[in-house]
Chains A and B, each alone.
Chain A
Amino acid sequence: SAVISQKPSRDICQRGTSLTIQCQVDSQVTMMFWYRQQPGQSLTLIATANQGSEATYESGFVIDKFPISRPNLTFSTLTVSNMSPEDSSIYLCSVETQLNTEAFFGQGTRLTVV
């Protein structure tokens, strides 16, 4: 397994501002992903974070709103830009240590936009 640290664990932000969430893994991993979990809902994949190149976004998610960086094999950031109350969710980092193997999740970042 992998130990995943997400920061911050929670935040309350003003609408129109941006928040950057960090994901740090204790070992090199092949795949890193970002998910959104709206209140009481299931998990929805936002994008795959690619090391050294642009992230691969799922339908309905765009780079201008959710810019992602992955400078190396153990670290990634997700920014939620120009936030509105509809962005209030839990944002989760997930990793796979090898291709097509178990996926592990961080503890999540609970974001509230007021």
Chain B
Amino acid sequence: GENVEQHPSTLSVQEGDSAVIKCTYSDSASNYFPWYKQELGKGPQLIIDIRSNVGEKKDQRIAVTLNKTAKHFSLHITETQPEDSAVYFCAAILAAGNKLTFGGGTRVLVKP
């Protein structure tokens, strides 16, 4: 089955700086890669996603890049704000089965 690894496990940045989280996946058949933000006491919230036919996608301060050859994808948050502090999860879906496989999560702390 699919295996998703996520790094780093914790990330501390100064407000206004950028944050980058990287994930690798094992199955080249995976074709959909969502990112979730989970705040304390809440369920994961979908913040951005990318499909295998696209190399990059942006939505305001967040962007995701995908390198299919290397089987890795990254989340970029620019101009970080304290409200960006949360746990972020990457995930991958195999083309068949529609089962989300999650990375281990990254706890992001934005220091004012």
State the A residues within 8 Å of B (CB). Answer: 4, 6, 31, 33, 41-45, 48, 92, 94, 96, 99-100, 102-108, 110
Contacts and interface: CB of A to CB of B under 8 A. Distances in A.
Interface residues of B, number: 22
Nearest to A108: B43
A25 to B, nearest CB: 13
Interface string B93-112: 10100111111110000000
Given A42-B103, A45-B99, A102-B49, A107 B43 contact: yes
Nearest to B43: A105
A110 B95 CA distance: 31
B42 A42 contact: no
CB-CB nearest 4 A-B residue pairs? A105-B43, A107-B43, A42-B102, A108-B43
Contacts of A31: 98
A55 B27 CA distance: 25
A100 B43 contact: no
Name the prevailing secondary structure of the A interface residues: strand
B98 A100 contact: yes
B43 A42 contact: no
Nearest to B90: A42
Contacts of A106: 43
B42 A108 contact: yes
A102 B46 contact: yes
B45 interface: yes
Given A42-B105, A102-B34, A102-B49, A96 B42 contact: no
Nearest to A59: B1
